[in-house]
Amino acid sequence: MSMPESIVETPWDSRVFGIPTFEITSLSKEVLKEIKEIPGHYTIKVDPLSSKKPLHDHGFYFCDTLLEPYCLREKFVAYEDSAVRISRSAKLEDLIAIAHGAFAHGRFHRDFNVDRNLADLRYDRWLQDLYDSGNVLGLLYNDKPAGFWGVSGNKMVLHALSKPHRGTGLAKYLWTPVCEELFNEGHQEIVSSISATNVAMLNTHTSLGFKFRKPLDIYHWFNKEPRPQDGVFRCDFIK
């Protein structure tokens, strides 16, 4: 069966969940009809003010609202702490230990069809991919691992603080040297993506001079019916 251009496979999620996974980039009646015949887990990102009736009628369910934080170089507010430094030689196992429990606001952690252990594994794999490509900066506090930033150009694509440092107000001090490094590389703007429910990170971004734009509602749908030639999906996908 040929796949419409507006249904895009997401192999990075499929390798974790063990089932076909897709993102829908453009919604239409034809696409909704097509995906009924293609088992798998689907994601769609839509304007918060658009009608969700076609999605609800089809069985899609709400998982999150994403915001895009952005900060211009001239608007950045720095917070200095001599105990903070960046490490480019952090150990992967230390970073993964930090990641566990840090992404409770993520859409897959909030999806009732996804086992939480698999949601954690998704972030582990994502972190490892960034690490292998040299795009993870470790954050140290008093020379001990305290967090990390995964970056791609001027975008902060994945970040976390270690559990003892969450909610302490330290994030803005840990983030300051990383933001300054990205600006010093020549970027005039830093962007990211966060859940609107992650109030702690919203406050951290705001304190550093970030503003917010481009809200998107995230909906998921899980078509459980396997095609005969595919057998059945892995049962551990379901809680």
pLDDT digit string, tens, across residues 162-209: 998 888 889 999 999 999 999 999 999 999 999 999 999 999 999 999
Does 128 share its domain with 232? no
Q: For residues 135 and 153, is the Cβ–Cβ distance under 8 A?
A: no
User: Encoding tokens for residue 20?
Assistant: 């076909």
Quick check: 112 pLDDT over 70?
yes
Does 38 share its domain with 82? no
User: Higher pLDDT residue, 227 or 211?
Assistant: 211
- Average pLDDT estimate for 80-103: 92
Q: What is the pTM of this model?
A: 0.87
Residue 1 lies in a domain: no
Distances in Å between the Cα of 34 and the Cα atoms of 27, 39, 161 are 11, 10, 41
pLDDT at 86: 93
pLDDT at 100: 85
pLDDT at 235: 45
18-72 pLDDT, tens digit per residue, is 999 999 999 888 898 889 888 999 999 999 999 999 999 999 999 999 999 999 9
Does 50 share its domain with 158? no
| Number of domains present in the structure of the chain | 2
Q: What is the DSSP letter of 163?
A: G
Quick check: 227 pLDDT over 50?
no
Does 82 share its domain with 150? yes
**Neighbour tally for 28: CB within 10 Å:** 12
pLDDT at 176: 95
CA–CA dist 104, 221 (Å, integer): 20
- Average pLDDT estimate for 107-113: 93
pLDDT at 232: 41
- The mean predicted confidence, pLDDT, of the chain is 90
The three-class DSSP label of residue 195 is strand
Residue-number span of the structural domain to which 17 is assigned? 7-65+217-237
